[in-house]
Chains A and B, each alone.
Chain A
Amino acid sequence: TIDETYDESLFIKSFSSRYSYVSFAFEIGASTDSTHSSVFSESSFSLFPLSIARVMDECQVSELHIRATRGRWDYENWKESPDNGFYSGGLGFEVWAFMANDPSMKYWLKLTNQLSGLLCASLNYIDSSNTYQPQLSYPGSFSFSNNTQYFASLPQEDVCTENLSPLFKLLPCKRKAGIASLLDSHLFFDTDWHSFSIDVYPSENQSLASVKMGIIIQAVVDVERNGRRKGKTTFQPPSEYCHDEDMDSLHCLMSGYSTEHHTVDDLFHKVPKERCLLSSTFSDVFVSNGDKIDTFSLDEAANIQIPIQSTSDNHTVTVDRSLSNDGNHWGSLSSTIYNPSSSPRTIVYFEKFPWFVRVYLHTLTITLNGTRINTKDFIEKLYYQPLRDRKAGTMMEIQFSIPPHTNLIVHFNVEKTPLRLDEYPPDANRGYNLPPAIISVFDENNTKLCSLRTAALLMFIPTPDFSMPYNVIIFTSTVIALTFGGIFNLLTRRFVPQQSKFQNRQPSMLQRLKEKIFHKKRG
């Protein structure tokens, strides 16, 4: 027999009058009586999606994580990442899994191909050239000792409604009941930042008899823009916000949208349907109110007033990354990590590049508060996977301790490699998306505090003139045709001496007439 549980919760937090953060969390648990078999091999699920179980079983996966994120988190105004960044990605899709060790990646590629169909995403573009095996960034707390971790990211993969619809199919009540009935695809994708994640992991160590699956859908809603869409079929122009009662121009310009509180109707334009009866909890809605969290049932959702609060500045670590495009050949990459707290932090800096970006490890420099330090002494661990042309990209994992109140800059040089003509993406003149770097922060007890991602970067790969092969073929064919025609004409033409030609010519009528007249005159 299979024991299954289902929980769902909705968390709402208002950052300002304009922005609100919403998070839908769904959790499905499944366990089997037999402690030595895998629950994925069962087939009589009531709540757990059978498609996920089949994929996990066929590909021998013990732990699976998927992140799909679009937008950039505003650390200045929205402060800390939700859940310390554990359930949000950087850009596009990220997939990592713990599975049986397989040098040929057969099961890993099978997994990504099946997930591609399940989620309507182009995860089938994952191959050995963009698959990495990080050693330090993701210590799997539930992983089996003989398992291997694979990681892949597709930053150019977009996130839109076709990815959200199959996500709802994995839920027991889908969108007909429960908190998921509040989600509308058009409103969800008109937010400033949105992300969804899927996590499948065992509940206990070293055992797949009991597993959990978590789905989290998050968004930051622009309440003002959202309000203009309510009940409208066209986009309404922005409103003007100007308080000019005191005739102060600065006061007018500093005015903006302001309100005392938000409501669920402001965020979702609808009243939720009845509760999902399969859920085991009654209080589904959580609202952040200062330091405490208020709980409501779904029936009371229409009357909730979400207070607007200014958040405190309690960053664990802030990160930034920039790319210097010096030209068509060389570039350099700088990542800035700042530790504002008063205790040291252990940082694992995980960087990955496609194969045509050549990273030169000897150019790696680390600067602390503007002072360049000895790199060898500072780095505690370094995993470096060099690139192999068209087979594997570069992976770099650096572990170091950043002192308190310190600004640290990691800098190294990269070289751009021209590609073959058929290897360029269709929008080659836009550039190539470099995936964000992942910074994992640990405290003194080796507990992971947060997982941060830097901004994605756009690297311009030098592009040829894509019509050049056509031009070369045309010009070469023209030259060959003209040359061959001329030489063939010269070689085959028959040349006749002019004298011989003259002798063979018959006298013209005019000449004969002249001779006749002249002869007559002479006679």
Chain B
Amino acid sequence: MSLFTFVQIRVFPFLQRHLFFLQLSLTLIGLSWIFILPRNEIIDRLHVSESALLPGQVNTYFENRYSKTVSSSLTAANTWSHLDASVGTNTMYDDLEQIFTAMGLPTQKQNYSINIPGSEFNGSNFITTLRAPRGDATESLLLCVPWKDHIGQYNEAGVALAISLLKYFQGWSLWSKDIILVIFDDPVYGPSSFLTSYFDQTTPYISYTPLKIRSGSIQAGLSLELVTTENNSDVLEVLYQATNGQLPNLDLFNTISRIFMQHFNYPLRLQGYDFHANSGSSYTSRLKSLWMGMLTQAVSNVTSAHALFPQYRIDMLTLRMKVKDPFSFDMFRFGQAIESTFRSLNNLLEHLHQSFFFYFILDHLHFISIGNYMPSILILAASFMLGAYRHWINHEKKIDLWRPFSFWLFSIFCTIAAYYLVSSSTKITVFIFLYLMLTFIGIIFSTFMTSEDAELVLSYDLMSKSLFISVVSTLNFSLSFVVAILLVPLQFISFRFNRRLSLLFAVLTYFSTFIFLCSLSKILNGPLVPFWLWAKEYELFNSWLMPSVFMILVLPEIIFSVTSFFSLWNEPSVKTKTKTL
């Protein structure tokens, strides 16, 4: 007996008889894979791949000799923050125009208005460019300073530092790229309109003044948020996750962490956890950091300026620090760090492409690349496919396959239509109505379905889940992983074994949508029903991944769980008939 015969006769029947346990094994392996990622043997050490960056290798001269300029900038910023909100921005922009025009820089104040149903916003951006001597206007670096952060706190020290740094930068002839300074009055609407006008995009929701100042390709950028708060903090928070789960090139983070942490001794805050230069990290802290990073990447909330830039292939980070008193803040230490960073980015010959674009940062020294964490989601997707196969092979006789496929397709269509019906409202009653409507559709479908139909519909559903999870994981691993966790009860619904356990799994699947939205609202600190927020972010920021995944992967489970539940509930009559026969 050859090996192939042995596999065909013995191994495959064994696997077919134990598909449920194989499925369970794959699910457990996929879920527990995350727990081995923070081990010391798995993680990689952060290193700079682009040799041209040379982070921290320059001498910095932003010192006390510029104290009068820094003090005047802080005084001016403090004056602007105390003005009334309606006239403060205009006064600030007029003063900034005088300052930078006296320096010989081109300036522009750009007005924009956001008009989407249910929300209107009128604002303006201030743009100026420090031109590189002998520069050819084909490459540039970007310095973004939102005047307010998403909470509404003023970025006094950030604006003051930007003014002082630009005056200081003008004295050097070593710049190979222009430096664009943009001051937004809103941290998310301002960057959205700036990018829309910079790249000549056309959108019906944003109208803006045409941009006159352009400097070619924006290679990299930084966003400063030195917001004035009640408490003081010497910790630098680095925000790096963008819309749709996109990430900047890892070399930008490497440069920032090396310069700020090792050369200027700032502690870093990543995903809410603080790391110091000389401190190690335990397995527990790395696991927490990884899990928090996955959750925030799955949500991809837009709260800072950096979140909108990676989709235009601009690598951008937000450096955020809480400043109690801008006048006692060490502006020269922070300014030297920014100077060192810009000098490193000035060395770039190409846009950042050497290092990773798919990673998880665990602490200030270690990260995980895509090759280490991607198998977990692929194993989970394989378990979903095995579940679909398990339902498929239970039908030995020939039956109509188009009937359950039509049920499945029509369910998806009803879900998408129902989602669009409710996506323009923020009320909880709309969500309840959506839930009840989909439940009703499921009940209606159950009356037309036989148990074979329900089983095949579940098979198609699991197949589509497997495929969609695999595809979404290449775009946003965290989102697909979170969705796969929520859909785990779905694949263990069985029409052959333990009926009560399957009913329990069906109920769990039914409420997984609600669990999903509750988790989102807790992480976001936002509304329980985020449909309108998703619609707004989709139209303004092209943030399309989260609502699409919710619409296609999570929401249809209301229908499928109801049909499975009622098919399982009606099982005794089938058994009775069997006994009678």
* A238 and B167 alpha carbons, distance in the complex (Å): 9
List chain A residues, Cβ under 8 A from B95: 250
Hey, what's the 0/1 contact readout for A299-332 against B, CB within 8 Å counting as 1? Answer: 0000000000000000000001010111000001
Interface residues of A in 247-288 (CB under 8 A from B): 249-250, 252-256
Q: Are A254 and B99 in contact (CB under 8 A)?
A: yes
Give the residue name and chain of the B residue nearest to A253 (CB). B99
What does the 1/0 interface line of A440-467 toward B look like (CB < 8 Å)? 0000000000000001111010000000
Pick the contact of A249 from B72, B104, B200 — CB < 8 Å? B72
Closest-by-CB residue of A relative to B210 is A336
Determine if B172 is an interface residue (Cβ-Cβ < 8 Å). yes
**Contacting residues, chain A, for B65 (C-beta < 8 A):** 237, 239-240
Q: Does B417 contact A (CB under 8 A)?
A: no
- Which of A76, A238, A249, A324 is in CB contact (< 8 Å) with B106? A76
Q: Which residue of A lies closest to B73 (CB)?
A: A253
A190 within 8 A of B: yes
B104 & A16 in contact (Cβ 8 Å cutoff): yes
> Are the C-beta atoms of A254 and B98 separated by less than 8 Å?
yes
Interface 0/1 of A162-202, CB less than 8 Å to B = 00000000000000000000000000011111100000000
Within 8 A of B (CB), among A282-297: none
Q: Which of A205-229 contact B (CB under 8 A)?
A: 222, 224-225, 228
A72 near B137 with CB under 8 A, answer yes
Contact A253 B163 (CB under 8 A): yes
Cα–Cα, bound, A239→B201 (Å): 41
Stretch with Cβ within 8 A of B (4 or more), from A52-60, A375-383, A425-433 = A425-433
Query: B349 to chain A: which residues have CB within 8 Å?
Result: 427, 430
Please report which residues of chain B, range 409-434, place their CB below 8 angstroms from some CB of chain A when the two chains form the complex: none
Please report the number of residue pairs spanning A and B whose Cβ atoms sit closer than 8 angstroms: 128
In the complex, which residue of chain B has the Cβ closest to the Cβ of A322?
B214
A91 within 8 A of B: yes
With a CB–CB cut-off of 8 A, which chain B residues contact A77? 104
Tell yes or no: B76 within 8 A of A by CB: yes
Q: Which residue in chain B gives the minimum CB-CB distance to A320?
A: B212
Expressed in whole angstroms, the Cα–Cα distance for A72 and B177 within the complex equals: 12
* Chain A: minimal CB distance from B200 (Å): 4
Report which of B99, B167, B217 forms a contact with A431, defined as CB distance below 8 A: B217
- Which single member of A193, A194, A222, A322 contacts B173 (CB below 8 Å)? A222
Q: Which residues of B have CB within 8 Å of A224?
A: 171
Contact: B68 with A244, CB < 8 Å? yes
Closest beta carbon of chain B to A163's beta carbon, Å:
13
* Interchain CB contact under 8 A, B171 and A249: no
Among A19, A250, A460, point to the contact of B99 (Cβ < 8 A). Answer: A250
Give the complex CA separation of A252 and B135 in angstroms: 28
Q: Shortest CB–CB separation between residue A478 and chain B, in angstroms?
A: 17
Take A244-B68, A431-B217 as given contacts and tell me if A238 and B133 are in contact as well, using a CB distance cutoff of 8 Å.
no
Instruction: Give A459's nearest chain B residue, CB to CB.
Output: B217
Query: What 0/1 pattern do residues 69 to 82 of A give for CB contact below 8 A with B?
Result: 01110101100000
- Contact digits for B150-174, partner A, Cβ 8 Å, 1 yes 0 no: 0000000000000100011011111
- Nearest-CB distance from A367 to chain B (Å)? 12
User: In the bound complex, how far is the Cα of B65 from the Cα of A238, in angstroms?
Assistant: 10
- Assembled-state Cα–Cα distance A427/B50 (Å): 13
**Nearest CB of chain A from residue B202's CB, rounded to whole Å:** 10
Give which listed residue, B63, B72, B136, contacts A91 with CB less than 8 A. B136
Candidates B137, B138, B200; contact of A332 at CB < 8 Å: B200
Closest chain B CB from A5 CB (angstroms): 34
Q: Chain B residues near A135: list those with CB within 8 A.
A: none
A320 partner residues in chain B, CB cutoff 8 A: 212
- Selected from B68, B99, B134, the residue in CB contact (under 8 A) with A240 is B68
Q: Are B134 and A193 in contact (CB under 8 A)?
A: yes
In chain A between 84 and 98, which residues have their CB closer than 8 angstroms to a CB of chain B? 91
Q: Known contacts A237-B61, A429-B350; is A249 also within 8 Å of B76 by CB?
A: yes
Contacts of A428 in B (CB 8 A): 350
* Cα distance, A424 to B568, chains bound together (Å): 62
Check A324–B200 contact: CB distance below 8 A: yes
Q: Are B200 and A322 in contact (CB under 8 A)?
A: yes
Indicate if the CB atoms of A225 and B171 lie closer than 8 Å.
yes
Q: Smallest CB–CB gap between B357 and chain A, Å? A: 12
A334 within 8 A of B: yes
Quick one: given A429-B353, A458-B216, are A244 and B102 in contact (CB under 8 Å)? Answer: no
Would B106 and A72 count as touching, CB distance under 8 A? Answer: no
**Which residues of chain B are within 8 angstroms of A326 by Cβ–Cβ distance?**
199, 201
Given A77-B104, A237-B65, A458-B138, 7 more pairs with CB closer than 8 A = A74-B131, A192-B133, A194-B134, A239-B65, A429-B353, A430-B349, A430-B351
7 CB < 8 A contacts A-B: A253-B69, A320-B212, A324-B201, A431-B138, A455-B216, A456-B137, A458-B139
Q: Which residues of B contact A (CB under 8 A)?
A: 61, 63, 65-66, 68-69, 71-73, 75-76, 79, 95, 98-99, 102-104, 106, 131, 133-139, 163, 167-168, 170-174, 199-201, 212, 214, 216-217, 313, 349-351, 353
